[in-house]
Amino acid sequence: MTTTTTTTTNPPTNHAAWLNAPNTPLRVSPAPLPTPLAPNEVLLRIHATALNPADAYMQVHGLLITSYPTVLGFDCAGTIIQTGSGIPTSTLQPGDRVLAASAPSVFDEPGAPQRDNPGTFQLYAAVKADMAVKIPSTISFKDASVLPICTGTAAIALFSPSKLALSLPQPTRPQPSSAAANDTSPAILIWGGSSSVGSCAIQLAKAAGYAVATTCSAHNLSYCRETLGADYVFEHQSASVVEDIAAALEGREFAGALDCVMPAETVIKSGKIVGKLGEGGGVKKLVTIFASAQQMEAMAPGAAGEVPGDVEVLCCEEYIRQNPYVRKAIFTEWLPMALEKGTMKCLPPPQVVGQGLEHLQEACERMLKGVSASKLVVELP
């Protein structure tokens, strides 16, 4: 049974942090309620929204923005207020607590509603129902908000047939444990394990049965090893990091690498490791979190040319909703159970910038300065 339902009698009043022009501060002002809903949408009252580097880049450079004014924001957690006519009440209904990912309209299917306020930097947002995941009562909105888009990015990099094509995590797989040095499970390199994407990628790869080698700053070694469960953890600034990782993983099946940070140096080092470990028949693929080869060249000039020629360098140009295979496996089948069982932790931990839309500009400015082993969150009480 499907129905359009709402928990309120009178339409709520919406406000948003608007971006009115490129490279201008966000301004809080009234916003239209993003209705009517498409059949596959739900209306959320957002209680927490998390920031990603893309939000700050979009504000400054106009990345993925087709018109102004607009509302930024990919990640949120909140309460469902209304459901579209195509949403079965057995899946989502008003009152459900969910985490959700939004995306700019450039990723929408033809015929989808075109709105000036597509993002999560507002009190009420319309999101696609298949990108909303119920959260247990034990998980707070601020914690849940750190996961959506980075889980999606990590999942595409790891499991898409056009990327690393790893085996999918199964809902019935036992809680992952650390792989011993003589374990025969295949290994993957995740460069930048303390980043938001890296934190999700390590957990996903472990849940799928892989041994994980990762890099991070010296002060995040324990976080990556003890909290995230990485099997091999290396200090990324070590002069011998390439040789150390290659030596640690030598002799075991190698499934490829994911670079979760953007400097040219990390692309080059990751590529060299893939080249060394792939010589014995391992996967010679390096996936980066750049959205395109053009973005990689702009932000990490010359890096791709320094990678060994037989290593395939790939970008994460796919949005997870555009890949039904990965979206269904992770967002529909695995993530709800993983959150319930604690297999997937809400990491990196939220760093609350403030409460209220007016704190989003400060959060964007702090994002540009860099964040380590945490994710900036603004609560919207």
pLDDT in tens, 140-160: 999 999 999 999 999 999 999
Judgement on whether residues 191 and 69 belong to the same structural domain of the protein? no
CB atoms within 10 A of CB 106: 10
d(CA 33, CA 116) in angstroms, rounded, equals 11
335: closest CA among 151, 93, 128? 151
Percentage of residues in the chain having pLDDT higher than 90: 85
Judgement on whether residues 167 and 304 belong to the same structural domain of the protein? yes
Final residue before a domain boundary, out of 288, 314, 340: 314
Judgement on whether residues 29 and 137 belong to the same structural domain of the protein? yes
d(CA 305, CA 360) in angstroms, rounded, equals 38
Residue 231 domain flag = yes
- Continuous segment of H or E residues that includes residue 306: helix 303-306
Pair 334, 169: CB distance under 8 Å: yes
Mean pLDDT for the stretch of residues 57-73 = 93
Q: Residue 268 belongs to a domain with what CATH number?
A: 3.40.50.720
Percentage of residues in the chain having pLDDT higher than 70: 94
Given this model, what pLDDT does residue 172 score? 64
At 100, the pLDDT band (50, 70, 90 cuts) reads very high
Torsion of CA 379, 359, 154, 254, to 10 degrees: -110
83: closest CA among 49, 127, 118? 127
Residue 340 domain flag = no
What range defines the domain where residue 65 resides? 5-146+349-379
Final residue before a domain boundary, out of 260, 288, 314: 314
Judgement on whether residues 32 and 47 belong to the same structural domain of the protein? yes
Residue 338 domain flag = no
Which residue has tokens 């898409």?
160
Residue 344 domain flag = no
3-class state of residue 271 by DSSP: helix
Residue 82 scores a pLDDT above 60: yes
Given this model, what pLDDT does residue 110 score? 78
349: closest CA among 58, 16, 48? 48
At 4, the pLDDT band (50, 70, 90 cuts) reads low
Given this model, what pLDDT does residue 2 score? 52
At 8, the pLDDT band (50, 70, 90 cuts) reads very low
At 176, the pLDDT band (50, 70, 90 cuts) reads low
Judgement on whether residues 33 and 120 belong to the same structural domain of the protein? yes
At 303, the pLDDT band (50, 70, 90 cuts) reads very high
Average pLDDT, the chain: 93
Cis bond upstream, residue 69 (ω within 30): yes
For residue 227, report the phi and psi dihedrals to the nearest 5 degrees: -85, -45
Judgement on whether residues 82 and 156 belong to the same structural domain of the protein? no
Judgement on whether residues 81 and 206 belong to the same structural domain of the protein? no
d(CA 18, CA 30) in angstroms, rounded, equals 9
| Residue 142 identity | K
At 113, the pLDDT band (50, 70, 90 cuts) reads confident
Given this model, what pLDDT does residue 180 score? 46
At 222, the pLDDT band (50, 70, 90 cuts) reads very high
Judgement on whether residues 232 and 109 belong to the same structural domain of the protein? no
191: closest CA among 221, 213, 209, 223? 213
Judgement on whether residues 214 and 299 belong to the same structural domain of the protein? yes
Final residue before a domain boundary, out of 257, 291, 314: 314
Residue 325 domain flag = no
Judgement on whether residues 141 and 156 belong to the same structural domain of the protein? no
Judgement on whether residues 128 and 230 belong to the same structural domain of the protein? no
The model's pTM: 0.94
Given this model, what pLDDT does residue 244 score? 98
Torsion of CA 86, 92, 94, 97, to 10 degrees: -150
Residue 139 domain flag = yes
d(CA 91, CA 40) in angstroms, rounded, equals 12
What the block records as the tokens of 200 is 């999700």
Q: How far is CA 46 from CA 102, 242, 357, in A?
A: 12, 43, 11
Residue 321 domain flag = no
Q: Residue 73 belongs to a domain with what CATH number?
A: 3.90.180.10
Judgement on whether residues 223 and 292 belong to the same structural domain of the protein? yes
- Return the ∠ at Cα 299 (arms to 297 and 301), rounded to 5°: 45
Residue 74 scores a pLDDT above 80: yes
Mean pLDDT for the stretch of residues 5-15 = 72
At 37, the pLDDT band (50, 70, 90 cuts) reads very high
The number of distinct structural domains making up the chain is 2
Residue 329 domain flag = no
